[in-house]
Amino acid sequence: MTGRHQILDFCRIFSGSFILFALVFGATPTQAAPSLIVDVASGQVLSEDEATASWFPASTTKLMTVYVALDAVRAGRLTMDTPLMVSPRAARMAPSKMGFRPGTEVTLQNALIMLMVKSANDIAVTIAEGVSGSVEAFADDMNRASASLGMTQSRWVNPNGLPDARQVTSARDLAMLGRALYTHFPEYATLFNIGAMQFGRHIEPNHNGLIGRYPGADGMKTGFTCPAGFNVVASATRGGRHLIVVVLGAPTAIARTAKAVALFDRGFQTSSGQTSLASLSAPGPTDAPDLRNRVCRNRGAATAEFMAEVENTPVAMGASTGVPLFDAVAGAGQPTMTPTDVARLPRPHFQPTQVHVGRAEGYTGPVARTRAPGSPIGEGTDLEAYANDNVAPEPEAKPSKRRLIKKRTAQPATPETATESSSSEPREAPSAASVKRAKSAATKSSKTATAIKTTSSNDATSENQLNKATTPKPAKAKPKLPSSTPEGGKQ
């Protein structure tokens, strides 16, 4: 028996014992976690559970932000090279964020990469203001696009998914959105499958725990807030079949990934569905459940109950799938893996996509920024954009260096502030060595005033070290995405 086999066996025994303990000692019934599997080509639903239940989208909201932005590019309102200006309102967003100062310019192409990989809330607002003039105007555009796609259960009020009781969706609607992104904008499919990005010396991994771990996984977006739980819209392709899986309300990041693995495996073994996405019964937006008590305050029992249904599901990762195995699990005598085994596989190394601030070389067009609704790109001011809103557009006083350092020190976790990739997000229990490394990284970052405020990843403690602050230096190389023509560019 190899060392890897022994580790996998230990993980199964430990996780199984934990689940049994939690179920016996105090586990209580929990809110069902909605899920859905859809075939992208046909739109047929292969499996669903509570797919029309109202839910908080968290950062999966950013898929709708991308859709509206790409639609604006296709309409010729701006290009992928159009610079977007960071506003004071964007700069004040809660983490996860890039932390750029007001007045910083970043191209739409770079902004979309930062949005999908870093899940940057400040960049979501920057995109919204650049495309539509203000957050509120962009939310109107989101709702119009949502309605045109048949997403009858969704209501949008912000572009980043930060907690707002009015912003709701469903697994059905998110599956419709994911399918629309692939079918309406196939030339931008690579945007959802970037394993890591690099800004200056800082490398940020994608929060999607499926990429690089599950054979055929090729993108989409995760999301997390305490009220929503851990969400994901995930995509995978095998043997010519392209599936999208939606998981909402998982109690941990690993549970989210394991559930998606089990659903993908089920989907690829199912030849056809009984109904279509459009035909699922879908009432209008309703109130969504608030999961903060079981996700951020008492998630032990919730995790045990959630994992009980997926822990013993074997994953078909062999030749029968027609997909090459990862090096981590290849070779003779390969053990059968459970979904949790896959979720806990080491993250492979990705060649990061370079991103930077500033205008594209040779660009001479207008800069997209906050402006009055209906104003053309390149015109308008913050005051005009938010004249009728209770939002102060003026920049705050520049803090002293001491205050800046203090502000960047990690704050205690609170259910009200925890978001995707934020420092307050619940994590798996860290080892003593990782705690020592984290303290060392925090000490180093507190001594460095940077333009980027990084926060911790939600996938594994060992990955948190990639998120310490470093002094950014704009990279000269441009990200490898399609060219930025108004029609959407080349594939």
Q: What SS3 state is found at 447?
A: coil
From 450, 476, 461, select the one nearest 202 (Cα to Cα).
Answer: 450
Residue 302, Cβ density class (10 Å: 0-12 exposed, 13-18 middle, ≥19 buried): buried
Exactly one of 54, 119, 421, 434 is catalytic; name it. Answer: 119
Q: Which two tokens stand for residue 279?
A: 């035909």
Is 398 catalytic? The answer is: no
Query: CA–CA separation, 471 vs 465, rounded Å?
Result: 15
From 19, 36, 353, 48, select the one nearest 211 (Cα to Cα).
Answer: 353
From 317, 306, 320, 323, select the one nearest 342 (Cα to Cα).
Answer: 317
Is 440 catalytic? The answer is: no
| Terminal C-alpha separation, the chain | 46
CA 281 to chain centre: 27
Query: CA–CA separation, 228 vs 245, rounded Å?
Result: 17
Query: CA–CA separation, 23 vs 278, rounded Å?
Result: 37
The answer to whether the beta carbons of residues 356 and 474 sit under 8 Å apart is yes
Query: CA–CA separation, 252 vs 250, rounded Å?
Result: 6
**Contact residues for 150 (Cβ-Cβ < 8 A; gap 6+):** 176, 278
Looking at residue 147, its amino acid is A
**Contact residues for 7 (Cβ-Cβ < 8 A; gap 6+):** none
DSSP string, 143-173: HHHHHHTT-TT-B-S-SS----TT-BB-HHH
φ/ψ of 138, rounded to 5, equals -70, -40
The answer to whether the beta carbons of residues 478 and 76 sit under 8 Å apart is no
CA 270 to chain centre: 27
Looking at residue 485, its amino acid is T
Q: How far is CA 451 from CA 125, 357, 405, in A?
A: 17, 11, 12
Query: CA–CA separation, 382 vs 390, rounded Å?
Result: 12
Exactly one of 15, 59, 146, 170 is catalytic; name it. Answer: 59
Exactly one of 15, 35, 54, 62 is catalytic; name it. Answer: 62
Query: CA–CA separation, 259 vs 246, rounded Å?
Result: 10
3-state DSSP of 386-408: CCCCCCCCCCCCCCCHHHHHHHC
Is 62 catalytic? The answer is: yes
The answer to whether the beta carbons of residues 207 and 231 sit under 8 Å apart is no
Q: Which positions are catalytic?
A: 59, 62, 119
